[in-house]
Amino acid sequence: MQEILDAILSTDSTPADFAALALPESYRAVTLHKDEEQMFAGLDSRDKDPRKSLHIEDVALPELGPGEALVAVMASAVNYNTVWSSIYEPVSTFGFLERYGRLSPLTKRHDLPYHVLGSDLAGVVLRTGAGVNAWKPGDEVVAHCLSVELESSDGHNDTMMDPEQRIWGFETNFGGLAQIALVKTNQLMPKPAHLTWEEAASPGLVNSTAYRQLVSQNGAGMKQGDNVLIWGASGGLGSYATQYALAGGATPICVVSNDQKAEICRAMGAEAIIDRSAEGYKFWKDENTQDPREWKRLGGRIRELTGGEDVDIVFEHPGRETFGASVYVTRKGGTIVTCASTSGFMHQYDNRYLWMSLKKIVGSHFANYREAWEANRLVAKGKIHPTLSKVYTLEQTGQAALDVHQNKHQGKVGVLCLAPSEGLGVRNAELREKHLPAINRFRDI
């Protein structure tokens, strides 16, 4: 592994040098163990501690298949799916691996008693499989997390529609929280040259998701002048949604839960901010009963901030706790676009407000190949910036996941895999210099 790292850190390694590197038989990775699936049975979600379920251990290097690449991972990031996997909610990810394993002898590789997690990476291509021409050893890359087979026509217009669509490192094995990862080469994209490894590894999943959900015609199709209510506006998804709203000429109305998060939204350029804790919204009177007066209070607050206008789009992901309010506050003809249900997936809303006011609820999930590419392109051009707040070592991934689980983080949380320290991997210092304050926005607070 040291030789691989030396080649990456050296400034004059050639593709031939990378191709000549011997690959190790095993590598260090963050794993879950199948025989521990029941370890948290009976516990409340908040009492399930990822530090107990996530292991750091050596695992065997998988065989490289056609159309695939083995990538030396310099850095990765924690996503909320790392939290879901590590607390075995809503289901154990081993079921995904078993199902994938039944597809073909090649996918059978994924069905193992351990699961290497991680749906983001920045690193260097080590080997490519048969039939790969666009990428070669030595290429500096990031990977998006869409894994598809594309054997059915269903996914030929929009790769998210593939019946065999999976999220790499969540519904497949050999993810990015490791020294080496296995990806399909269609997941690879050029690493933004002005970013460090850990900065480059952090946008991938959430940036692509926010792009489809908010900007793409497959999501809300945001346009100039739209008012966009963004829940969790300084969080993983929200920190990108806020940037997309601002960059696209829309007005974000950012919902956060404390002053520090409000400050980050202001630093991104947002002006309309709602502190849901300080303003004490309580959309549920008890477990089964919502309080429409609280929806109305939120709507009134939005109008105060927008000069009397309602929101064209609600960027939804908290789910059960906020969904009734989200449907209520959307303007006539507006769109509630949802990609998650962090607080519960059985939503309840008053349908009269939906049909009488001709609103739409749109489901959105990750991003297709093209959307992921567009989202990465915007990062590479310095138009959208990483929102990295804190970086952990691979050994500390359990703590990093706990922080995200407990909502103690800002923006994105990074993980160093092979990179020996932060700050490495910048290839375009001039572009970096130009955007340095924006790149460090989440770090400085």
CB of 110 to ligand NAP, least distance (A): 20
Q: Which residues is 69 bridged to in the sheet?
A: 128, 183
Q: With contact defined as beta carbons under 8 Å apart, do 220 and 337 qualify?
A: yes
Among 28, 184, 191, 317, binds ligand NAP (CB under 6 A): 317
- Does the footprint of ligand NAP cover residue 340 (CB under 6 A)? yes
- Report how far apart, in Å, the C-alpha atoms of 64 and of each of 34, 110, 120 are: 23, 12, 19
Give the three-state DSSP class for 185. helix
- Does the footprint of ligand NAP cover residue 337 (CB under 6 A)? no
Q: Which stretch binds ligand NAP (CB under 6 A): 57-65, 73-81, 214-222, 390-398?
A: 73-81
Tokens of 122: 């920045």
- Does the footprint of ligand NAP cover residue 386 (CB under 6 A)? no
Q: Which of 370, 418, 435, 390 is nearest to 193 (CA)?
A: 435
C-alpha span between 122 and 120 (Å, rounded):
7
Q: Which stretch binds ligand NAP (CB under 6 A): 220-228, 318-326, 354-362, 430-438?
A: 318-326
- Does the footprint of ligand NAP cover residue 197 (CB under 6 A)? no
Comparing CB distances to ligand NAP, the nearer of 110 and 276 is 276
- Does the footprint of ligand NAP cover residue 272 (CB under 6 A)? no
**Binding mask 89-128 vs ligand NAP (x if CB under 6 A, - otherwise)?**
----------------------------------------
CB of 305 to ligand NAP, least distance (A): 16
Q: Which stretch binds ligand NAP (CB under 6 A): 61-69, 316-324, 349-357, 430-438?
A: 316-324
Tokens of 7: 């080649």
Residue 335, CA atoms < 13 Å, CB-side half-sphere: 21
DSSP secondary structure letter of residue 224: T
Give me the helices (H) in 335-428, please: 351-355, 369-380, 397-405
The single residue listed with the structure tokens 């138009």 is: 383
C-alpha span between 234 and 217 (Å, rounded):
24
C-alpha span between 239 and 77 (Å, rounded):
15
Among 295, 315, 366, 369, binds ligand NAP (CB under 6 A): 366
Comparing CB distances to ligand NAP, the nearer of 112 and 255 is 255
Comparing CB distances to ligand NAP, the nearer of 276 and 331 is 276
CB of 443 to ligand NAP, least distance (A): 16
Among 31, 53, 76, 81, binds ligand NAP (CB under 6 A): 81
- Within residues 203-222, the interface with ligand NAP by CB under 6 A covers 205-206, 209
Among 237, 298, 384, 417, binds ligand NAP (CB under 6 A): 237
Comparing CB distances to ligand NAP, the nearer of 137 and 204 is 204
CB of 1 to ligand NAP, least distance (A): 30
For strands 330-338 and 311-316, give the pairing. parallel
- Report how far apart, in Å, the C-alpha atoms of 304 and of each of 223, 253, 298, 311, 334 are: 22, 11, 10, 12, 19
Q: Which stretch binds ligand NAP (CB under 6 A): 196-204, 233-241, 385-393, 416-424?
A: 233-241
DSSP secondary structure letter of residue 130: T
Q: With contact defined as beta carbons under 8 Å apart, do 66 and 130 qualify?
A: yes
- Does the footprint of ligand NAP cover residue 348 (CB under 6 A)? no
CB atoms within 10 A of CB 389: 22
* # residues contacting ligand NAP (CB under 6 A): 31
- Does the footprint of ligand NAP cover residue 262 (CB under 6 A)? no
CB of 364 to ligand NAP, least distance (A): 7
C-alpha span between 245 and 229 (Å, rounded):
10
Q: Which of 261, 424, 430, 281 is nearest to 343 (CA)?
A: 281
Among 404, 416, 417, 418, binds ligand NAP (CB under 6 A): 404
Comparing CB distances to ligand NAP, the nearer of 317 and 385 is 317
Which H or E run contains 264?
helix 259-268
Q: Which stretch binds ligand NAP (CB under 6 A): 96-104, 128-136, 179-187, 251-259?
A: 251-259
List, as one string, the DSSP characters of 289-352: EE-HHHHHHHHHHHHHHHTSPPEEEEEE-STHHHHHHHHHHEEEEEEEEE---TT-S-----HH
- Does the footprint of ligand NAP cover residue 171 (CB under 6 A)? no
Among 101, 235, 252, 414, binds ligand NAP (CB under 6 A): 235
Comparing CB distances to ligand NAP, the nearer of 178 and 404 is 404
- Does the footprint of ligand NAP cover residue 290 (CB under 6 A)? no
Residues engaged in binding ligand NAP (CB under 6 A): 79-81, 84, 205-206, 209, 231-232, 234-238, 255-257, 261, 276, 317-318, 321-322, 339-340, 342-343, 365-366, 404, 407
